[in-house]
């Protein structure tokens, strides 16, 4: 991964807080539906609305999913206690949010990026989501709104908040972290990880320091990031803003800042001096959660393969570095690739096809037909271009690669046939041939391109360009060039 200095002489330090909605059927503390979209204020009940006398009861599935997340991130799973986080805001009708404070369900852990680097996880705790506010008037901008409208469908939806250590050093690494975390959450069925629907939200803590220093700079927290792309832009903008401040002799003030997608800047929401004083205290209406070793073991045993395990498995099968398998795993095609390689196919060709030629998905392609196709290709019966065409057929309709090849009229060209064709073309175009024989590398490539093009035209694309190039080189050598 490239983590080239964004600003020469400066290091950017990033820690991320990721909120993911857990994929439960019902809410965290009540039996109303946890469902995205739908008519406003329909998935509500007395608990979601914080009506007097209503009491929370914890959803077992939310705890199980939180433990899955903890296990996938190698966290310490521990006894946890819910706490009230007190503040007044209309999207939270109780005037406090139930969260976890000093005793989160998941303690320290780590996440492994596709390139092998590990990012520390400080904690991953359970909390409830708030309702959704829509600001009306002032063009939807929060500071100018005339009034706000509240939909409590989301209030009380279970969230896991995953807090990383300040271990990332650039926007690219932060994106890699969020992508990997999302892949893990989706793989273990904990969340659908949809940033665009808000089921996964990222707050970035950004600070800068001069190269060679180890002390952390004053950080700002950037909120309102709605996509991986926005996150990269927000981090880069914020880092530059902080460096500009310091270089002009000012200080960075600890602030919460709001990313504005339209103007591409971050704007101050509040400073540390105005920071909320949440007055956390243990939630008296809920008892501690103490998952037994048996329960944790049961959840661990049921965990599916994690992305990092999939990368390693394919890397072992293909004899490459795990980072070289990231794209295949990301596309969910690693099972196919592993099975195809196990069926005897050339691993390098399998990875090339999966990464470049299956953009529309695997479709009807099976490991057996894929392996048969790659065998035809490596055996010289199909050119790379022909193999790509047949691969598309196999994905679209399944079947036998040899039959598809025959349908297209793809037949392995006899080399002697090809040689005769090349010799004829050399004779027909002596000036081009002279350019090939006498030219420098660039000229030679250009002229070779001409001959390959002529051969392809004469054979309706059935010739293997690699072999044509070899023939040309051989003829040139024979002529003493």
Partner 1 sequence: MTTTPRLTRDDVAHVADLARLTLTDDELDAFTGQLADVLDHAADLEALDLDDVPPMANPLPLVNVLRPDVPVPAGDAEGAADFHAEVLAAAPSVEDERFRVPPVLGESP
Q: Which residues would be at the binding site for partner 1 (CB under 8 A)?
A: 24-26, 30-33, 39-46, 49, 57-63, 79, 81, 86-92, 103, 130, 133-137, 142-143, 145-152, 223-224, 256, 258, 269-270, 276-279, 282, 284, 286-291
Residue with smaller CB distance to partner 1, 144 or 443: 144
Q: How far is the CB of 254 from partner 1 (least distance, A)?
A: 14
| Residue 125 to residue 100: CA distance in whole angstroms | 6
Q: What tokens were used for 269?
A: 């929401």
- The β-bridge relationship of strands 10-21 and 281-282 is unpaired
Tell me if 349 sits within 8 A of 319, measured CB to CB.
no
Q: How far is the CB of 112 from partner 1 (least distance, A)?
A: 30
Residues whose CB is less than 8 angstroms from the CB of residue 34 and which lie 6 or more positions away in sequence, other chains included = 21, 22, 24, 25, 26, 27, 43, 157, 158
Q: How far is the CB of 200 from partner 1 (least distance, A)?
A: 17
Q: What tokens were used for 357?
A: 């030629």
Q: How many C-beta atoms surround the C-beta of residue 423 within 10 A?
A: 12
Distances in Å between the Cα of 408 and the Cα atoms of 266, 375, 412, 461 are 56, 18, 12, 11
Residue with smaller CB distance to partner 1, 288 or 380: 288
Residues whose CB is less than 8 angstroms from the CB of residue 449 and which lie 6 or more positions away in sequence, other chains included = none
Residue with smaller CB distance to partner 1, 86 or 385: 86
| Residue 124 to residue 83: CA distance in whole angstroms | 15
Residue with smaller CB distance to partner 1, 63 or 421: 63
Instruction: Say which DSSP state 254 is in.
Output: P
Residue with smaller CB distance to partner 1, 247 or 274: 274
| Residue 216 to residue 11: CA distance in whole angstroms | 10
Q: How far is the CB of 72 from partner 1 (least distance, A)?
A: 20
Tell me if 146 sits within 8 A of 180, measured CB to CB.
no
DSSP H helical segments within 255-366, as ranges? 293-301, 307-318, 326-330, 334-342, 347-356
Residue with smaller CB distance to partner 1, 138 or 380: 138
DSSP H helical segments within 196-284, as ranges? 228-247
Q: How far is the CB of 232 from partner 1 (least distance, A)?
A: 22
Q: What tokens were used for 232?
A: 């990269």
Which residue in the block uniquely carries the two structure tokens 């820690």? Answer: 15
Q: What tokens were used for 41?
A: 């204020």
Residue with smaller CB distance to partner 1, 86 or 378: 86
Q: How far is the CB of 76 from partner 1 (least distance, A)?
A: 17
Q: How far is the CB of 164 from partner 1 (least distance, A)?
A: 20
| Residue 301 to residue 62: CA distance in whole angstroms | 18
Q: How far is the CB of 51 from partner 1 (least distance, A)?
A: 8
Residue with smaller CB distance to partner 1, 263 or 273: 273
Residue with smaller CB distance to partner 1, 91 or 355: 91
Q: How far is the CB of 26 from partner 1 (least distance, A)?
A: 5
Residue with smaller CB distance to partner 1, 58 or 352: 58
- The β-bridge relationship of strands 220-225 and 255-260 is parallel
Q: What tokens were used for 249?
A: 């002799």
Residues whose CB is less than 8 angstroms from the CB of residue 332 and which lie 6 or more positions away in sequence, other chains included = none
DSSP H helical segments within 159-289, as ranges? 171-187, 228-247
Q: How far is the CB of 60 from partner 1 (least distance, A)?
A: 4
């Amino acid at each position: 991964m490239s983590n080239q200095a964004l600003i020469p002489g400066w290091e950017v330090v990033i820690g991320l807080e990721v909120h993911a909605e857990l994929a439960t059927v019902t809410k965290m503390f009540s039996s109303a539906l946890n469902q995205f979209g739908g008519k406003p204020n329909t998935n509500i009940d007395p608990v979601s609305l914080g009506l007097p006398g209503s009491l929370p009861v914890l959803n077992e599935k939310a705890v199980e999913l939180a433990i899955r997340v903890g296990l996938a991130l190698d966290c310490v799973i521990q006894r946890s206690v819910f706490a009230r986080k007190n503040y007044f805001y209309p999207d939270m009708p109780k005037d406090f949010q139930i969260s976890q404070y000093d005793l989160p369900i998941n303690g320290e852990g780590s996440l492994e990026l596709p390139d092998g680097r590990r990012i520390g996880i400080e904690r991953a705790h359970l909390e409830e989501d708030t309702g959704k506010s829509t600001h009306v008037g002032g063009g939807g901008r929060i500071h100018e709104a005339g009034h706000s409208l509240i939909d409590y469908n989301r209030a009380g939806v279970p969230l896991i908040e995953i807090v990383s250590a300040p271990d990332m050093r650039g926007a690219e690494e932060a994106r890699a972290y969020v992508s990997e975390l999302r892949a893990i959450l989706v793989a273990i069925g904990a969340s659908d990880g949809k940033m665009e629907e808000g089921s996964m939200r990222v707050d970035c803590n950004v600070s800068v320091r001069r190269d060679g220093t180890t002390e952390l700079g004053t950080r700002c927290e950037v909120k309102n990031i709605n996509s991986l792309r926005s996150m990269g832009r927000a981090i880069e903008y914020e880092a530059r803003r902080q460096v500009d401040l310091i270089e002009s002799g000012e200080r960075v003030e600890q602030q919460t800042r709001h990313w504005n997608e339209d103007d591409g800047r971050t704007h101050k929401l509040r400073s540390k001096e105005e920071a909320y004083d949440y007055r956390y205290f243990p939630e008296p209406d809920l008892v501690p959660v103490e998952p037994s070793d048996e329960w944790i073991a049961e959840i661990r045993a049921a965990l599916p393969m994690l992305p990092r395990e999939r990368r390693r498995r394919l890397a072992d099968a293909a004899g490459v570095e795990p980072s070289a398998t990231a794209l295949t795993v990301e596309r969910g095609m690693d099972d196919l690739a592993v099975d195809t390689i196990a069926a005897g196919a050339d691993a390098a060709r399998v990875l090339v096809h999966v990464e470049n030629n299956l953009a529309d998905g695997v479709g009807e392609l099976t490991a057996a037909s894929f392996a048969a196709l790659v065998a035809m290709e490596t055996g010289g019966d199909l050119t790379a271009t022909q193999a790509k065409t047949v691969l598309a057929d196999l994905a679209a309709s399944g079947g036998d690669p040899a039959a598809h090849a025959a349908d297209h009229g793809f037949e392995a060209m006899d080399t002697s046939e090809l040689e005769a064709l090349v010799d004829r073309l050399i004779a027909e175009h002596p000036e081009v041939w002279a350019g090939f024989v006498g030219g420098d590398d660039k000229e030679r490539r250009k002229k070779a391109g001409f001959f390959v093009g002529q051969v392809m035209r004469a054979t309706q694309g059935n010739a293997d360009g690699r072999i044509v190039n070899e023939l040309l080189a051989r003829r040139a050598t024979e002529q003493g060039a």
